[in-house]
């Protein structure tokens, strides 16, 4: 849990005894490819920190999977709207590859806020990062060409996401046709 | 500042002396229709709580104005991505009608976090509300018909926004053509 400890300690001062409390509420989980941590119709009871792996959030639209979020080593993931509101989600959180994640429950996070309000900063960080992520994606969808979107994607995402997420999932994430993505990738390799 | 005080007190316990500190860093501003609080290229140095008025955030795309956020009495507004990152925005925050707002500077908010970490909860609230807002809009844009989008809009927004925001601004907010919006409005009135 070294990465997570460092990330939190960069955010706010945490004593060793506080870290013990945090560590004790975190559950390490190993999940298989295609295994689901949160399913359509469920309430997101937890947020996950990825120790090692590759995961995504998607939903179904007219029978097709639309990927809206990728996560990998050192990043968080949840069906975040449902996590904030504690209402059922229409989204699915699924592993793309075998992954190890640290599960941080909604209850545990709220207990930390109660224990010491300084932990609210973790909640603010999560909310702000999630906001920036959806803001950039929405903006990119609305204002950029397919090629610009893909170039943005490969320069701003974790290398594991760029290199190992299936192309059809990346295409739906960028809101472009899989054939267009193949053409763009060929153009980039050639040029 | 009664509304704002109540909103904050519903969020977290605030003593009278703490409220005095908050009240002293807030600046009341009166702005005219079409007057801009934040402009393209600037850094969003503040977030605003609307005491009375109607405002929006928009950006230009191919010379056309795309409205991405409306705000009115009792709601917050900023070019929020720029507010979090303190990097220049491409967006414009403008009054639609004469408005009175309470300006809450980035610096003042961060001073509050330093004063007592419990105020982080205000930052978390702002970030979570902004996340939910952009999440709902993005989802609606991607999954709903024009009529569904408009019905959602009129049932979930402040009456002042629904009744008084110009139709072409609402159309761009919903991502539908102004003519489609006119047709939908006629259909709803008739049915």
CATH of the domain at A67: 2.60.120.10
How large a percentage of chain B has pLDDT more than 90? 84
Residue A165, domain member (yes or no): no
The pLDDT of residue B191 is above 70: no
Nearest CA in chain A to B143: A61
ipTM: 0.89
Number of domains in chain B: 1
What digits encode the pLDDT tens for the residues A45-61? 999 999 999 999 999 98
The C-alpha atoms of residue A167 and residue A182 are separated, in whole angstroms, by 8
Q: Is residue A77 part of a domain?
A: yes
- pLDDT single digits (tens) B154-176: 999 999 999 999 999 999 999 89
- Quick check: B128 and A81 CB within 8 A? no
B160, part of any domain: no
Q: Are B46 and B105 in contact (CB under 8 A)?
A: yes
For residue A52, being part of any structural domain is answered with yes
Query: Do residues B149 and A149 lie in contact, with contact meaning Cβ atoms separated by under 8 Å?
Result: no
Chain A residues near residue B78 by CB distance under 8 angstroms: none
> Which DSSP category does B88 fall into?
B
Distance of alpha carbon B40 from alpha carbon B90, whole angstroms: 5
CB contact under 8 A, B132 and A84: yes
Residue A153 lies in a domain: no
Helical residues (DSSP H) of B88-145, grouped into ranges: 106-115, 120-143
For residue range A109-123, list pLDDT tens digits in order. 999 999 999 999 999
User: What pLDDT, on the 0 to 100 scale, is given for residue B73?
Assistant: 96
User: What local confidence, expressed as pLDDT, does residue A143 receive?
Assistant: 80
Select the residue from A68, A135, A173 to test the B interface by mutation, using most B Cβ atoms within 10 A: A135
What do you get for the CA distance between the two ends of chain A, in Å?
A: 42
CA–CA distance, A25 with A107 (Å, rounded to integer): 10
Q: Report chain B residues whose CB lies below 8 A from the CB of A142.
A: 61, 66
Phi, psi of A50 (to 5 degrees): -85, 115
Q: Each residue of B23-61: pLDDT tens digit?
A: 999 999 999 999 999 999 999 999 999 999 999 999 998
Which residue numbers of A have CB closer than 8 Å to B's CBs? Answer: 12, 61, 66, 80-81, 84-85, 113, 116-118, 120-121, 123-124, 127-128, 130-132, 134-138, 141-143
Chain B: closest CA distance from residue A190 (Å): 30
Supply the pLDDT for residue A99. 98
Give the one of A124, A134, A141 whose C-beta lies nearest to B135's C-beta: A134
pLDDT score of A191: 66
Average pLDDT over chain B, rounded to an integer: 93
pLDDT at position B67 is 94
Q: What is the mean pLDDT of residues A135-155?
A: 89
Q: Residue B119: pLDDT above 70?
A: yes
| DSSP result, B15-48 | -HHHHHHHHHH-EEEEE-TT-EEE-TTSB--EEE
Distance CA(A99)–CA(A77), nearest Å, equals 12
Using CB atoms, which residue from A80, A121, A134 is nearest to B117?
Answer: A121
pLDDT at residue A139, rounded to an integer = 83
Nearest residue in B to A85, CA atom: B132
Considering only CB atoms, which chain A residues are within 8 Å of B62?
none
Q: For residues A175 and A169, what is the distance between their CA atoms, to the nearest angstrom?
A: 10
Q: Is A168 within the bounds of a domain?
A: no
Chain-chain contact of A117 with B120 (C-beta, under 8 angstroms): yes
State the DSSP code for A43: B
Give a yes or no: residue A34 inside a domain. Answer: yes
Domain that holds residue A72: 2-143
Assigned domain for A41 exists: yes
């Amino acid at each position: 849990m070294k990465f997570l400890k460092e990330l939190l300690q960069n955010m706010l001062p945490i004593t060793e005894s506080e870290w013990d409390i945090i560590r004790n509420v975190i559950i390490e989980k190993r999940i298989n490819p295609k295994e689901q941590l949160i399913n359509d119709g469920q309430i997101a009871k937890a947020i996950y920190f990825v120790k090692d792996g590759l995961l995504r959030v998607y939903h179904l639209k007219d029978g097709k999977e639309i990927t809206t979020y990728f996560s990998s080593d050192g990043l968080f993931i949840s069906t975040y709207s449902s996590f904030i509101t504690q209402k059922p989600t229409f989204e699915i959180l699924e592993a793309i590859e075998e992954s190890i994640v640290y599960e941080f429950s909604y209850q545990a996070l709220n207990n930390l806020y109660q224990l010491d309000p300084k932990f609210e900063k973790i909640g603010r960080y999560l909310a702000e990062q999630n906001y920036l992520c959806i803001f950039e994606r929405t903006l990119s969808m609305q204002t950029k060409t397919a090629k610009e979107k893909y170039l943005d994607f490969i320069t701003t995402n974790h290398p594991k996401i760029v290199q190992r997420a299936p192309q059809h999932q990346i295409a739906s994430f960028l809101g472009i046709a899989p054939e267009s993505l193949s053409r763009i990738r060929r153009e980039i390799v050639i040029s």
